[in-house]
Amino acid sequence: MTTGQASGTATTASRRSLREVAFDSLKGLFAVGDVTCDCAARAVHGLLFSEPVPAEYAWAGTIERLRADLESSSEAVSIALPYAGAKERFSTVGEICRRRSKGRIWGLLLHRLVRGFAPSTALELGTCLGVSTSYQAAAMKLNGRGRLISLEGAAALADQARKNLRKLCLDCVEVRTGLFQHTLEPALRDLGSIDFAFIDGHHDEEATLAYFEMVVPFLAHRAILVFDDIAWSDGMRRAWARLRADPRVRVTLDLSIIGICILGRDLPKQDFDFPSLSRVQAAQVVPHIRRAVRGRLPVDAPVLVVSRGDDELLELVSRRAQHFPQTNDGAYAGHHPGDSRDAIDHLERLREGGAEYLVFPSTAFWWFEFYSDFRRHLELHSLSVHQDEDCAIFQLSGAR
Ligand SMILES: C[S@@+](CC[C@H](N)C(=O)[O-])C[C@H]1O[C@@H](n2cnc3c(N)ncnc32)[C@H](O)[C@@H]1O
């Protein structure tokens, strides 16, 4: 097996910048000289180094607004899978969305892969609420072609996903309910030949490899398989290692969380490692945020950051930065505020506790629209000291 030039290990990444590691792997991938590899390379390159194109950006905005609605929903939903004797289990739509749906960057990766590769047929294992499904289906809509069958075991989640896809007018998707063990085979037969598949459910070594074996005979001459959570457990790490070593899988991209396999007999066997996209992206935005923080804020001011739990972002912003929202001991709360009232109450408690500034990285700008009363509260009771395309900073102290 040939190995791509770059290794994404933490040690290598610390010696060279994450950007350089990613760049070397991209160069290797482009050098394969194959249109499908080019398409995967362009999808990753676009996310790391260039602005999203307007149509994609518009779709991402629409899907992220849907996500924000879902994340704040307290509607109860049954999540039990239909195994014989399985006990009924409930959660809320908000909780499920926060825990299970792929984040924006990974959604955009799927979107860009589908945009560039333009599959006629695609399959998804694990619809959940339909967030990743929407990113893929939106790309098909922009492509003007493509059919996607998405499989989900929990009937109530499948219903939610259908409702969400209808809301977004994404009608190229069919969501089928039932265990993959029962629904995969008929879906493969109905699609006939598969160009693209995203496997994001039943993250178990044996199951993952079994689904791979079932899908392979149906794959088109050139196909892309995307596996989620490749490092989620020892079993998943083993499954990913087996997939990479499999002679039928020719080119792989290891993006730390997601693994991409490109199949096609005529391709050379090559593996490429990347640092996690979210880390590289954060590393790119953070210098701008840090510059803004240093330019505007006193050294070591107590700062709150709308961080979505990213500790690295805190470290890079300031020595006294804390998550917003947070638990009593300052750890990330684990979810966004339920509504504006929650956000306001929480902010006021932290302001009384000494917080002096609130920083919004650009990835959290959607808060201003979604929590509109919270935004008004900030406008009335704090001072906007910085606003550009990378971040917004509010002074909380002495500004009431
Ligand atoms: C991680 S979630 C999918 C998230 C979704 N792809 C997204 O990013 O928006 C995995 C889903 O697979 C479903 N699932 C897990 N094992 C399954 C099985 N054996 N058969 C059918 N569905 C299954 C779960 O109910 C869950 O909703």
**pLDDT, tens only, 236-284:** 999 999 999 999 999 999 998 899 999 999 999 999 998 777 667 666 6
203 close to ligand 1 (CB < 6 Angstrom): no
180 close to ligand 1 (CB < 6 Angstrom): yes
Residue 200 alpha carbon to ligand 1 centre in Å: 6
* 125 burial level (CB within 10 Å; 0-12, 13-18, 19+): buried
Quick one: pLDDT band at residue 1, thresholds 50, 70, 90? very low
Residue 268 alpha carbon to ligand 1 centre in Å: 33
Quick one: pLDDT band at residue 51, thresholds 50, 70, 90? low
pLDDT at 8: 38
Average pLDDT across the chain, whole number: 89
> Which atom in ligand 1 lies closest to the alpha carbon of residue 125?
12
| CA 57 – CA 104 distance, rounded (Å) | 11
pLDDT at 205: 97
Over the stretch 305-357, which tens digit does the pLDDT of each residue have? 998 777 767 876 677 899 999 999 888 887 888 889 999 999 999 999 999 99
SS3 content of the chain, % helix, strand, coil (to 5): 50, 20, 30
Give yes or no for residue 9 having a pLDDT over 60.
no
Give yes or no for residue 389 having a pLDDT over 60.
yes
**Residue nearest ligand 1's atom 3 by CA:** 126
Token pair for residue 201?
Answer: 């459910």
Of the two residues 285 and 230, the one the predictor is more confident about is: 230
How many other C-beta atoms can be found within 10 angstroms of the C-beta atom of residue 84?
4
pLDDT at 399: 57
Residue 239 alpha carbon to ligand 1 centre in Å: 18
Residue 289 alpha carbon to ligand 1 centre in Å: 36
> Which atom in ligand 1 lies closest to the alpha carbon of residue 157?
27
DSSP string of 192-261, one letter each residue: -SEEEEEE-S---HHHHHHHHHHHGGGEEEEEEEEES-TTSSHHHHHHHHHHHH-TTEEEEEE-SS-EEE
153 close to ligand 1 (CB < 6 Angstrom): yes
pLDDT at 3: 40
pLDDT at 362: 79
The helix/strand/coil state of 380 is helix
126 close to ligand 1 (CB < 6 Angstrom): yes
pTM for the full predicted model: 0.76
| CA 200 – CA 159 distance, rounded (Å) | 18
Token pair for residue 147?
Answer: 């059919």
DSSP 154: -
> Which atom in ligand 1 lies closest to the alpha carbon of residue 124?
6
| CA 149 – CA 139 distance, rounded (Å) | 14
> Which atom in ligand 1 lies closest to the alpha carbon of residue 129?
9
Token pair for residue 35?
Answer: 């249109």
Percent of the chain with pLDDT strictly greater than 70: 92
pLDDT at 314: 81
Least confident of 29-33, 70-74, 192-196: 70-74
Tokens 């060279």, located at residue: 16
Least confident of 11-15, 22-26, 294-298, 379-383: 11-15
Of the two residues 8 and 88, the one the predictor is more confident about is: 88
DSSP lists the bridge partners of residue 2 as 270
Q: Which of 253, 263, 255 is nearest to 29 (CA)?
A: 253
pLDDT at 7: 37
Over the stretch 102-137, which tens digit does the pLDDT of each residue have? 988 899 999 999 999 999 999 999 999 999 999 999
Give yes or no for residue 16 having a pLDDT over 70.
no
Provide CB contacts within 8 A for 57, sequence distance 6+: 51
pLDDT at 46: 82
Residue 93 alpha carbon to ligand 1 centre in Å: 14
Quick one: pLDDT band at residue 142, thresholds 50, 70, 90? very high
Quick one: pLDDT band at residue 15, thresholds 50, 70, 90? very low
Q: Kindly list the distances between the CA atom of residue 195 and the CA atoms of 208, 282, 297, in Å, as whole numbers in the listed order.
A: 18, 32, 51
Most confident of 64-73, 91-100, 126-135: 126-135
